[in-house]
Amino acid sequence: MKKDTPLFWTRTECPVCSSSNIKIIRQRNISYKEFNHDQIKITDKDYGKIWDLSRCSDCTHVFANPCPTADYIRRLYAQIKDPSYEEEAGGREKNFLPILWNINKIHPGKGNIFDVGAATGIFLNSARKYRWRPDGIEASSWAVGTAQKKYNLKIREGAFESIPLKEKYYQSVTMIDFIEHIPYPYQAVLKAHEILTRAGVLCLVTPNLHSLAAKISGGRWWHFRPAHIHYFTKTSLRRLLERAGFKVIKTRNYTWTFSAHYLISRLAFLDFLLKSNFLSSFFRKIPIKLALGDSIEIYAQKK
């Protein structure tokens, strides 16, 4: 597949700040021809794989260029089935609780919350326990069905950028590991601004390209994956939010909790430990907290 295929398009401006001061910094090691929906699962472990990357000299943002088109991405995500994601539901819920705690502190009155890229509804189910009224959207048909069956959550199916939503209706919008997957991050954040009430809060979680873990890992950083077409820094993320009409009020590092089984399964040289049913079951029961500091968790309030 050639670069001029309609499935990919070349940018002439930065998707964060619209500057034309961009330059190519790395060449891809992903095949356009072989790219498929299995490579963009949440639990994909194709680490170190990147598209051709460009950097904006004005805001430091790094992005895929050429980039998969919005329609192509939607079609791929609609096909995703990822049972391994739901197997880690316990750990993922622990990851989300600090986010809810921070949102509750900023907006103690609760209200309507909209989760963008809601996956199987783990976050929204937790939000409901804290008396938020849950709503959200997810591209994967399988994930939407799982949310309905397991959590009795009616998550919308489709793309956030194109679905009609009430303006000034939600007290909070969350985008947890979402913004790095879509072609138009500014438009997505701008839409979040439109549907939030006055002083509503947006929470974003996304990989931090300038983190120490990213620098140490080099080309093998685990966030270098086919699904990721944007790599934000604290500078570019703040620029994105302020441009869309938000005021950044809090930034912290995101902490992950996974089972030992999940982490071992990510490392090919340790796979032999999971061949025993006894050990496999044992490792599933051991939670491990990872404070790698390589994802930004940022809270911004609508001006």
User: Can you name the residues that pair with 202 across neighbouring β-strands?
Assistant: 173, 300
What tokens does 192 get?
A: 């979040």
Q: pLDDT > 70: what percent of the chain?
A: 89
pLDDT, mean of residues 249-277: 72
Is the confidence at residue 97, as pLDDT, over 70?
yes
The Cα-based distances of 230 to 54, 101, 180 in angstroms read 10, 27, 5
Q: What is the structure's pLDDT at 292?
A: 78
Q: What is the structure's pLDDT at 179?
A: 98
Q: What is the structure's pLDDT at 301?
A: 97
pLDDT, mean of residues 119-132: 96
Q: What is the structure's pLDDT at 2?
A: 44
Is the confidence at residue 16, as pLDDT, over 90?
yes
Q: What is the structure's pLDDT at 196?
A: 98
Confidence band of 229 (pLDDT split at 50, 70, 90): very high
The pLDDT tens digits of the residues spanning 171-207 come to 999 999 999 999 999 999 999 999 999 999 999 999 9
CB within 8 Å of 218: residues ≥ 6 apart: none
What tokens does 147 get?
A: 């949310």
pLDDT, mean of residues 81-91: 86
The pLDDT tens digits of the residues spanning 206-222 come to 999 999 989 999 998 98
**Structural domain spans, the chain:** 8-302
pTM of the model: 0.90
Q: Which CATH architecture fits 8-302?
A: 3-Layer(aba) Sandwich (3.40)
Confidence band of 144 (pLDDT split at 50, 70, 90): very high
State how far the Cα of 22 lies from the Cα of 149, in Å rounded to an integer.
Answer: 46
Query: How much is the CA Rg of the chain, to the nearest whole Å?
Result: 19
Instruction: Match 């356009």 to its residue by tokens.
Output: 32
User: Can you name the residues that pair with 112 across neighbouring β-strands?
Assistant: 133
pLDDT, mean of residues 38-48: 85
Is the confidence at residue 1, as pLDDT, over 50?
no
